[in-house]
């Protein structure tokens, strides 16, 4: 992975997306590794998951927990780093639950893609592919699926590299 540039990784739940992102980042030449976590712990089980992920990364990572203002954080980090954002679908869910309308969410997705592409550091964005299953039965789930698909398309089209992960196996899309 080169000094700058945006890499997008997408796949199903527990597919190996995060492991692939961390592997790419660990092989990067940057001395500073930054992990932007978008998850929020609303219960004990999620707190345990977040701590397990933190331990998996190890001590050589700076972790920033930010559920909403990811673009601002990426813009503030400057050059010479490798930045992993995990995960974009949780970020999108946070936006939806903050009661933003679809037009505002689409603006924020575009701003995030721009921040990733404009960053002087290497950026790796991780997202879930949620559109391979059944059509959800309720309006909120369909809205989330539709916005996720739009976000993933926008991220993939703007990325220098895009990967699809299935069963722990990476498939390079571009």
User: For residue 157, what is the enclosing H or E element?
Assistant: helix 139-158
Look at the alpha carbons of 90, 108, 154, 113 in this order and tell me if their dihedral is positive or negative.
negative
**Nearest-10 Cα torsion for 93, 98, 99, 102:** -50
Chain mean position to CA 78: 18
CB within 8 A of 173, min separation 6: which ones? 156, 162, 163, 164
- Catalytic positions, please? 53
Beta bridge mates, 65: 37
CB within 8 A of 127, min separation 6: which ones? 8, 9, 10, 17, 87, 88, 89, 148, 151, 152, 155
């Amino acid at each position: 992975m080169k000094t700058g540039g945006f890499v997008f990784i997408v796949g199903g739940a527990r597919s190996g997306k995060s492991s692939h992102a961390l592997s790419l980042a660990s092989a990067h030449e940057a001395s500073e590794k930054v992990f932007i976590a978008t998850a929020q712990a609303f219960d004990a089980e999620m707190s345990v998951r977040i701590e397990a992920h933190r331990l998996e990364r190890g001590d050589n990572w700076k972790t920033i927990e930010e559920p909403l203002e990811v673009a601002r954080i990426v813009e503030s980090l400057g050059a010479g780093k490798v930045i992993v954002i995990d995960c974009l679908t949780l970020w999108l869910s946070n936006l939806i639950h903050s009661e933003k309308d679809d037009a505002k969410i689409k603006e924020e997705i575009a701003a995030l893609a721009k921040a990733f592409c404009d960053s002087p550091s290497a950026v790796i964005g991780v997202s879930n592919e949620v559109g391979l299953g059944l059509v959800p039965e309720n309006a909120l789930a369909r809205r989330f699926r539709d916005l996720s698909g739009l976000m993933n398309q926008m991220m993939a089209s703007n990325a220098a590299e895009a990967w699809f992960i299935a069963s722990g196996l990476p498939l390079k899309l571009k």
